[in-house]
Amino acid sequence: MRLISNARLIGRDGPHDIEIDGDRLGRIAPAGELSGDVLADAGDHLVSPPFVEPHVHLDTTLTAGEPRWNASGSLWEGIAVWSERKAFLTREDVIDRASEVLRWYAANGVLHVRSHVDVTDPGLVALDAMLEVRERVADVIGLQLVAFPQEGICSFDDGAELLEEAARRGVDAIGAIPHFEDTREDGVRSLEIAFDMAQRYGLRLDAHCDEIDDEQSRFVEVLATLARRGGLRDRATASHTTAMGSYNGAYSYKLQRILARSGINLVCNPLANLCLQGRFDAHPKRRGLTQVKEMLGAGVNVAFGHDDVMDPWFPLGTASPLQVALAGIAAAQLTGAAEIDEAFAMVTERAARVLGLGDGYGIAPGRPANLVVLPAASPFDAVRRQTRPTHVIAKGRLVAETPVTPTRLTWPGREPEDVDFVRARDR
């Protein structure tokens, strides 16, 4: 038996040891009570379930600047730039870029990823490449693929047929983009098509929904109602929902009840949407984000995702979930101490709920031996100091190690000393 020793666990007092039994977690007991070879000494640092990425586009990742930069920064120019880049896609190109970012994810302690894949391509080049990537990375990262109709289901030639072909080839979830369809009726019909397909193939549903600053874009009510009436409930997710940032108070209140009753999940992508939205506004410029605080308060599950890592929609990123959490905290004004812990949950446990990981996630006996050691005292501390995991354990194997290297500061009147950004009273 091997051990993760001296782990500080969320919800338990004092350091604990965790048994690793093959690819599963064994017993958890106060430090010193279990015996075995130490796989990693956590040194009384935080040990957390792995980070979870609930929303990224791995087929577009690392293409920023190709064939040109998105000069306006708008979602629409991003789609136009991607349409140009898509003409040059090859299987190897997609595999190489997606694999590189998945390595970054693993180094950051992200062991579950949901990626959307554009299927508005008659060749389905990216889809076949990503299905191959899913197999290749399975020993380290659990990758879910969503068939994403970037240019529409009803408004793109053969959009519905391509979506169904993606279902046949083995995606995990069906997508949609109702606000992008040519008419409101097409938007509603596209969701009906997507839900019907998800149910016929036994798949989850994750739609890009209302990713526009138009307060008239109200497809999330349609998605939630289809999810409730058809029984898909928490197997359905509305991603982006940025129009919610422009809804009036009366409608927002009504919507809280509709979403809470439905059981659907929301995914907010703060880095990308803070930048993409509000581009048509003079001042005051809208934030252009879903109602994170209000929907959490109404009992709706909300998670934070990247959406983009160096692509036509957002040019920066290192696949770090703590960067996303920090951006989300600032953007959604989640600055209460409990809210900062909640933001950490939004890139761990809440994101795991979006993916439907159930008993396949979390630190408890019998669950998969996936965890991260963060050189931090708490989730709050990890978010604030943006700490990369010192150890990442995937299926019982140590897959990433990052040494902690403090900054050496020479200051007038003091001997050279290490600076680790921990205030004195918290030591």
Q: Is 311 in the site for Fe ion (CB under 5 A)?
A: no
The smaller minimum CB distance to Fe ion, of residues 127 and 374, is found at: 127
Between 307 and 381, CB nearer to Fe ion: 307
Q: How far is Cα 70 from Cα 49, in angstroms, rounded to an integer?
A: 36
One of 19, 77, 307, 311 touching Fe ion (CB under 5 A): 307
> Which string of x and - marks every residue 38-57 that binds Fe ion (by CB under 5 A)?
--------------------
Using the contact rule CB under 5 A, the part of the chain among 214-222, 225-233, 306-314, 419-427 near Fe ion is 306-314
CB 313 → Fe ion: shortest distance, Å? 8
Q: CA 312 to CA 116: how far, in whole Å?
A: 15
| CB-based closest residue to Fe ion | 307
Which stretch in 63-71, 133-141, 301-309, 339-347 sits in contact with Fe ion by CB under 5 A?
301-309
Nearest to 59 by CA among 320, 322, 309, 240: 309
Return the axis-axis angle of helices 184-201 and 219-230, rounded to nearest 10°. Answer: 30
Q: Shortest approach of Fe ion to residue 423 CB, angstroms?
A: 37
3-state SS record for 151-171: CCCCCCCCHHHHHHHHHHHCC
Query: CA dihedral in degrees (304, 307, 311, 314; nearest 10)?
Result: -50
Q: What is the distance between the alpha carbons of residues 203 and 379, in angstroms, rounded to a whole number?
A: 33
Catalytic residue among 53, 164, 211, 349: 211
Give the closest residue to 38 by CA, choosing from 393, 304, 328, 388: 393
Q: Which stretch binds Fe ion (CB under 5 A): 105-113, 149-157, 214-222, 303-311?
A: 303-311
223 backbone dihedrals φ, ψ, rounded to 5°: -60, -50
Q: Tell me the per-residue interface mask from 131 to 170 with Fe ion, x by CB under 5 A, - otherwise.
A: ----------------------------------------
Instruction: Name the residue nearer to Fe ion (CB basis): 53 or 307.
Output: 307
Known active-site residue 211: yes
Bridge partners of 407, per DSSP, are 419
Nearer to Fe ion, 118 or 349 (CB): 118
HEC string for 62-113: CCCCCCCCCCCCCHHHHHHHHHHHHCCCCHHHHHHHHHHHHHHHHHCCEEEE
Q: Which residues are catalytic?
A: 211
The residue ranges that bind Fe ion (CB under 5 A) are: 307
